[in-house]
């Protein structure tokens, strides 16, 4: 293959450039000069922390040396901000060497110090490091949460450190790549790459140029998309960019990705070549996670080639690396050991207490003869004290019982008051609706007569136009005049047709108003529930938006295709849908106002489907949910969970009656508190007869 001819040549050139790499990153020397000229201890602490960071991917001993120097100085002068930053550098060291439990503990300590000192940049950096620990475990969901928190803090702090912003964006892209969400991966990696290649007149911070990391992850994205040639090019560009930065970790990872790519392409020789280079670079740090993965890759490759000596060699390296790593699952084991140690200490304390009690008892028996008279007097005093305590206990029980009775009475009165307020709200609403219905009936009847006259006059005008045409046809007119007159009559006829059509439309609207406000039982009409439910969902949403212009929610209609027409009373079912959608938008607004979840997006889902002889409508929201106690009473009259004055809708009890008694269907609710609420309506495709004496509440 062509790829195999020129790619090894690039690798050889990169290996030849390795010995020429500097022993430190370009950012180390300026920081050393600044440290020598520093005039205050706080400045020295911050410079030592930054200097430690420049060696994070090249010399771990220097990381520890400068970080510990800064930590000792910070603790001596009580500089908590500098202490947090130096601890964070030690957390990097533990993480790179694979000691993830120790890294996590140090990061948590550093995070507490960062927050106490209001160090937004330091807090963001520690959150980024903590996310990388979960990323190393392939646990991408919690990693994303830490990365997004770090990104938010960087944007709030107004930091000019592009290195860290690029690192967070690249980590987000890499996490989404691990979740196989490649569109999100491309979005964050493109942002990181655009910032990286932009001009930086002031140079880079102590974290150096992140270009090797960005290029490597872009190559991994191309590999995930099956674009092998582009992936190889980006891997080599990453390895080349790591040389001036002395970024041994990026070089090792770039070679590792190349080795894994060639293994997947069934090119074992190229895979072995780059795996060896990755292992060599990783052992110099030592980057233990890379050593383990590359030695495992080589052991598998040589095992496939039936070369037991080489297989055994790399298996030993892999096992050694595994022994040096701390399994992150030991975090739980360490917590269990700590708990066991506390139990043991508590047991020792109990044994000591028992021993002291026995000693006191022996002393008591030794002095019993001397204290006999005192004991008799004390016994009499104790007897009188017990009698007094017994009387007090009885009085206390009586007071407690009376308090319990008063509390129960208060709760009953409060419940009755709540029911009365709910009933009052319902009565006021019904009175308003009745008044509105009467007003609507009057308006509709007043409009109906003019509309009928317009339609009649339009029909008469059509007949008159036809008669005028016939009379004009008898007159001897020129051809041009006849054509002009015919054109005017055509326009007039077209306008009259539009008048008739618009008059019919107004007549239908008036008929709907009269039907809606009528007190007599409404007639069922075949209805497309997809259209009806979707229109009411969007109508209620826009109404909520008018009340709160800052409110936004995701509307998710999932409508069953070819849904049969269902005979129903449209205005009654419309009222039920308005009530359910209003409750759904209220629930998601309440959860959004609590602000407990930064990633929360309000969602209201509408779905329809055909289930046997019934059409099912589901209205689901991801709001606060309903408790088990409230769910048992949700369809009871006068029951509400909303504050006074907010529950002015139709009411679930009335909605339940409309669906079950009015249409022969069913209405039920499913909910998990804190997660979702879903109301499910089932309406029969074939109409069932209404029960006698059934009327829809106003």
One DSSP character per residue, 179-205 reads TT-HHHHHHHHHHHHHHHHS--TT---
Which DSSP helix (H) or strand (E) runs through 662? helix 652-663
Cα 33–Cα 36–Cα 40 angle in degrees, nearest 5: 125
Say how far apart CA 53 and CA 161 lie, in whole Å.
Answer: 14
Residue 164 token pair:
């860290």
Q: What's the mean pLDDT in 424-431?
A: 70
pLDDT at 42: 93
Structure confidence at residue 580 as a pLDDT band (50, 70, 90):
very high
Q: What is the mean pLDDT of the chain?
A: 81
Encode pLDDT of 324-344 as tens digits: 565 555 444 434 433 343 444
Residue of 324, 292, 295 whose CA lies nearest to 312: 295
Q: What's the mean pLDDT in 586-610?
A: 90
Give the contacts of 60 (CB within 8 A, at least 6 positions apart).
93, 96, 97, 285, 286
Structure confidence at residue 509 as a pLDDT band (50, 70, 90):
low
Say how far apart CA 517 and CA 444 lie, in whole Å.
Answer: 10
**pLDDT at residue 69 tops 90:** yes
Helices 41-54 + 28-37 axis angle, to 10? 170
Strands 603-611 and 566-568, by their bridges, are unpaired
Residue 20 token pair:
């020429």
* Residue with the larger pLDDT of the pair 453 and 243: 243
Inter-residue contact 62 to 52 (CB < 8 Å): yes
DSSP 8-state symbol, 20: G
Structure confidence at residue 352 as a pLDDT band (50, 70, 90):
low
pLDDT at 516: 54
* Residue with the larger pLDDT of the pair 607 and 384: 607
pLDDT at 337: 34
pLDDT at 335: 41
* Residue with the larger pLDDT of the pair 599 and 470: 599
Q: What's the mean pLDDT in 100-127?
A: 88
User: Which of 11-20, 369-378, 471-480, 632-641 is predicted with the least confidence, judged by mean pLDDT?
Assistant: 11-20
Burial of 103 (0-12, 13-18, 19+ CB in 10 A): buried
Q: Could you tell me how far CA 158 lies from the centroid of its own chain?
A: 25
Encode pLDDT of 16-49 as tens digits: 344 434 456 788 889 899 989 999 999 999 999 9
Residue 58 token pair:
């090249």
Say how far apart CA 658 and CA 573 lie, in whole Å.
Answer: 7
Helix (H, G, I), strand (E, B) or coil at 612: coil
Say how far apart CA 401 and CA 255 lie, in whole Å.
Answer: 78
CA dihedral 551, 556, 562, 564 (to 10 degrees): -60
Burial of 301 (0-12, 13-18, 19+ CB in 10 A): buried
pLDDT at 692: 47
Structure confidence at residue 496 as a pLDDT band (50, 70, 90):
confident
pLDDT at 484: 76
Helix (H, G, I), strand (E, B) or coil at 318: helix
Burial of 48 (0-12, 13-18, 19+ CB in 10 A): buried
Best mean pLDDT range from 352-366, 425-439, 464-478, 656-670: 656-670
Encode pLDDT of 632-689 as tens digits: 878 876 666 666 555 544 578 888 888 998 888 999 999 998 889 999 999 998 866 6
Cα separations (Å) of 65 from 24, 59, 92, 125, 147?
Answer: 14, 10, 13, 20, 28
Say how far apart CA 364 and CA 491 lie, in whole Å.
Answer: 122
Say how far apart CA 115 and CA 189 lie, in whole Å.
Answer: 29
Cα 8–Cα 14–Cα 20 angle in degrees, nearest 5: 155
Which DSSP helix (H) or strand (E) runs through 19? none
Inter-residue contact 42 to 117 (CB < 8 Å): no
pLDDT at 214: 93
User: Which of 132-146, 428-442, 528-542 is predicted with the least confidence, judged by mean pLDDT?
Assistant: 428-442
pLDDT at 595: 80
User: Which of 1-10, 465-474, 556-565, 643-652 is predicted with the least confidence, judged by mean pLDDT?
Assistant: 1-10
Give the contacts of 56 (CB within 8 A, at least 6 positions apart).
63, 89, 92, 93, 96
Helix (H, G, I), strand (E, B) or coil at 691: coil
Inter-residue contact 36 to 258 (CB < 8 Å): no
pLDDT at 331: 45
Backbone dihedral region for residue 218 (phi beyond 0: left; psi -120 to 50: alpha; all else: beta): alpha
**pLDDT at residue 170 tops 80:** yes
Can you name the residues that pair with 443 across neighbouring β-strands? none
**pLDDT at residue 95 tops 70:** yes
pLDDT at 633: 79
**pLDDT at residue 138 tops 50:** yes
* Residue with the larger pLDDT of the pair 437 and 199: 199
Encode pLDDT of 246-287 as tens digits: 888 888 889 989 998 998 888 988 888 998 888 888 788 777
**pLDDT at residue 405 tops 80:** yes
**pLDDT at residue 382 tops 60:** yes
Structure confidence at residue 133 as a pLDDT band (50, 70, 90):
confident
Burial of 483 (0-12, 13-18, 19+ CB in 10 A): exposed
Encode pLDDT of 288-323 as tens digits: 777 878 888 888 888 888 888 888 888 888 777 766
Place of tokens 């690029």: 166
pTM over 0.75: no
Can you name the residues that pair with 19 across neighbouring β-strands? none
**pLDDT at residue 437 tops 70:** no
């Amino acid at each position: 293959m062509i790829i195999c001819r020129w790619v090894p040549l690039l690798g050889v050139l990169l290996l030849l450039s390795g010995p020429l790499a500097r022993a430190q990153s370009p950012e180390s020397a300026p920081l050393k000069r600044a440290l020598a000229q520093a005039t205050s201890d706080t400045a020295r602490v911050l410079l030592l922390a930054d200097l430690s960071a420049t060696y994070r991917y090249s010399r771990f001993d220097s990381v520890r040396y400068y970080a510990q120097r800064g930590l000792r100085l910070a603790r001596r002068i009580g500089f908590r901000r500098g202490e947090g930053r130096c601890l964070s550098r030690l957390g990097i060291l533990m993480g790179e060497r694979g000691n993830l439990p120790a890294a996590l503990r140090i990061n948590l300590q550093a995070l507490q110090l960062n927050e106490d000192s209001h160090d937004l940049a330091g807090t963001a950096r520690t959150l980024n490091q903590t996310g990388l620990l979960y990323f190393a475990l392939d646990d991408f969901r919690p990693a994303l949460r830490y990365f997004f928190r770090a990104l938010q803090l960087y944007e709030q702090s107004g930091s000019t450190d592009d290195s860290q912003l690029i690192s967070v964006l690249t980590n987000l892209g890499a996490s989404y790549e691990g979740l196989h969400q490649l569109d999100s991966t491309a979005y964050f990696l493109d942002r990181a790459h655009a910032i990286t290649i932009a001009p930086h007149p002031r140079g880079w911070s102590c974290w150096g140029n992140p270009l090797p990391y960005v290029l490597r992850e872009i190559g991994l994205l191309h590999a995930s998309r099956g674009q092998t040639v582009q992936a190889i090019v980006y891997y080599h560009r990453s390895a080349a960019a790591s040389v001036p930065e002395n970024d041994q970790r990026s070089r090792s990872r770039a070679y590792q990705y190349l080795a894994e790519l060639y293994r997947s392409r069934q090119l074992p020789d190229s895979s072995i070549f780059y795996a060896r280079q990755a292992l060599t670079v990783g052992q110099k740090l030592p980057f233990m996670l890379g050593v383990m993965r590359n030695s495992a890759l080589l052991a598998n490759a040589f095992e496939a080639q039936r070369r037991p000596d080489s297989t055994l060699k790399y298996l030993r390296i892999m096992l050694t690396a595994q022994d040096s790593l701390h399994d992150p699952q030991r975090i739980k084991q360490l917590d269990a050991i700590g708990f066991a140690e506390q139990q043991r200490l508590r047991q020792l304390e109990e044994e000591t207490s028992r021993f002291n009690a026995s000693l006191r008892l022996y002393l008591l028996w030794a002095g019993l003869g001397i204290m006999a008279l005192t004991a008799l007097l004390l016994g009499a005093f104790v007897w009188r004290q017990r009698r007094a305590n017994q009387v007090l206990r009885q009085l206390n029980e009586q007071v407690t019982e009376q308090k319990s009775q008063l509390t129960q009475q208060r709760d009953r009165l409060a419940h009755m008051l709540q029911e009365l307020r709910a009933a009052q709200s319902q009565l006021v609403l019904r009175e308003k609706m009745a008044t509105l219905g009467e007003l609507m009936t009057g308006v509709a009847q007043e409009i109906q007569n003019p509309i009928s006259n317009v339609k009649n006059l339009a029909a008469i005008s059509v007949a008159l136009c036809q008669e005028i045409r016939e009379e004009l046809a008898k007159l001897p007119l020129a051809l041009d005049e006849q054509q002009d007159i015919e054109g005017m009559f055509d326009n007039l006829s077209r306008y009259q047709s539009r008048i008739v059509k618009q008059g019919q439309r107004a007549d239908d609207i008036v008929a709907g108003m009269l039907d809606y406000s009528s007190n007599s039982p409404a007639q069922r009409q075949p209805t497309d529930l997809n259209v009806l439910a979707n229109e009411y969902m969007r109508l209620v949403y826009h109404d909520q938006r008018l009340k709160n212009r800052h409110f936004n929610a995701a509307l998710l209609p999932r409508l069953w295709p070819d849904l049969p027409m269902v005979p129903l009373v449209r205005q009654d079912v419309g009222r039920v849908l308005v009530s359910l959608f209003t409750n759904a938008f209220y629930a998601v607004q309440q959860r959004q106002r609590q602000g407990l979840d930064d990633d929360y997006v309000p969602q209201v889902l509408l779905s329809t489907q055909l289930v046997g002889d019934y059409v099912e409508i589901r209205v689901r929201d991801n709001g606060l949910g309903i408790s088990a106690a409230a769910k048992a009473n949700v369809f009871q009259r006068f029951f509400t969970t909303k504050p006074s004055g907010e529950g002015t809708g139709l009411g679930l009890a009335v909605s339940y009656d409309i669906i079950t008694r009015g249409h022969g269907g069913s209405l039920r609710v499913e909910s998990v508190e804190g997660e979702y609420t879903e109301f499910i309506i089932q309406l029969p495709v074939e109409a069932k007869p209404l029960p006698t004496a059934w009327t829809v509440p106003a």
